[in-house]
Amino acid sequence: MDNLHNNSLFSQVVDLLQQSKQQVVRAINHTMVYTYYEIGRMIVEEEQNGKDRAEYGKQLLKGLSKELNQEFGKGFSVESLDRMRKFYKTYSISASLTWISDDSNSSSLMTNFENGKTQSLTTLFKNKNLFNLTWTHYIFLMRIDDSNERSFYEIETAKNNWSVRELKRQYDTALYTRLSLSRDKEAILKLSQQEQIIEKPKDIIKDPYILEFLGLPELNQYSENELEEEIINKLEHFLLELGNGFAFIARQKRITFDDKHFRIDLVFYNRILKCFVLIDLKIGELKHQDLGQMQMYVNYYDREMRFEEENKTIGLVLCQNKSDLVVEYTLPENNEQIFASKYKMVLPSKEELIHLIEQI
């Protein structure tokens, strides 16, 4: 009994210490980002006082780097200081807007900044919650020139707790572009101002899907079974590519009627839309029979599996190639349940991907 009690106590203490360690790391990262932002501000304002700004700026960073490295050791190279400078210049406008809109003391705070007064980190933390990611995240985000696109990735990273590696993959696969091309201007603007809004089935569909993480060749050198097997083996990556709200339910789900058996490759549930999402995998060109088969699966799930309070089932056929006209004339004009999307096994360049999306 004592051993069980001690084991329970040990587990609780370990959990507490691990949580504490994580909070300390988050606090350090948070403090680091605010500190670098403030250093960037001071560098920019000092540069603006120089007569020949370009030359003065270079000498300023070199001198500051030398003195800081002597005082604190390594970590303050000219390149690092230049990143802090760029960080402030990139985020100062959006930061000012957040302060003005979110804080009752924003006017005095902004006056202090405009007058060149150094704000204590305590004041910044108390009044703001501007930066929720790590410095490494922001180093990558600053590479994105388009402010709307950068804002979208920042919001989605914070919401989904993406690592830097996951953020980079989403950017490399042009997630923002893939989502933008299926939306009007107002909806695109919303992507950069708030998290991705999912209100209807089309909001969760991408075209194409990028499955480079499976490690399969681009050519037809694998079967549909092998494709499915690799997706299951890399399910966490596949869920990330599918997007928000997906939960895995089953593979090779068998449905039976009239003594005939049919198998649905993959079954998911989307918690946001509150509906089943059925996925069929096809090698090669999409045929109209593939869409008809998916329509049958969707009808079955709507009539036999769906609860009354749930929304209608979504069907998605993933294929290597498709004719948009085949899809258009096979499906009804008011279709909101059946979709067909291409998938790519090799990560294309962003330019190639944009060209592919524009063709679709």
Adjacent-strand bridge partners of 246: 270
DSSP category for residue 315: E
Specify the pLDDT at position 357. 65
Same domain flag for 16 and 154: no
| Residue 184, pLDDT above cutoff 60 | yes
The amino acid occupying position 229 is: E
Query: Six-digit token pair at 80?
Result: 């690092």
Structural domain that includes position 178: 144-197
* Residue 332, domain CATH: 3.40.1350.10
Q: In what order do the strands lie in the sheet with 314-319?
A: 209-210, 338-344, 314-319, 275-281, 260-270, 246-257
Residues 205 and 121 in one domain: no
- Nearest partner of 300 among 335, 260, 332, 273, judged by Cα: 260
Query: What are φ and ψ of residue 103, in 5° steps?
Result: -130, 130
Q: Are residues 18 and 59 in the same domain?
A: yes
- CA-to-CA separations, 38 to 68, 77, 95, 120, 134, in angstroms, rounded: 15, 17, 12, 9, 15
Is 50 exceeded by the pLDDT of residue 217?
yes
pLDDT reading at 108 higher than 70:
no
Closest CA to 279 of 252, 307, 257, 303: 252
Domain check: are 99 and 162 in the same one? no
Same domain, yes or no: 69 and 81: yes
Asked if residue 127 and residue 93 are part of one domain, the reply reads yes
Percent of the chain surpassing pLDDT 70: 79
Determine how many CB atoms are found less than 10 A away from the CB of residue 260.
Answer: 7
Range 223-250 average pLDDT: 94
Across 273-291, average pLDDT: 95
Same domain? For 49 and 62 the reply is yes
pTM tops 0.75: no
pLDDT in tens, 6-44: 577 777 877 877 877 777 776 778 888 988 999 998 888
* pLDDT above 90 (res 46): no
DSSP 8-state symbol, 356: H
Residue 340, CA atoms < 13 Å, CB-side half-sphere = 28
- Rounded Cα distance between 248 and 233, Å, is 13
pLDDT exceeds cutoff 90 at 271: yes
Please tell me whether residues 178 and 162 are part of one structural domain: yes
Checking if the pLDDT of 359 tops 70, the result is no
Read off the tokens for 118: 């150094």
Short-list 87, 105, 348, 118, CA closest to 212 = 348
Total domains in the fold of the chain: 3
Instruction: Kindly state the average pLDDT of the residues 192-214.
Output: 84
d(CA 228, CA 223): 9
Confidence band for 83, pLDDT divided at 50, 70 and 90: very high
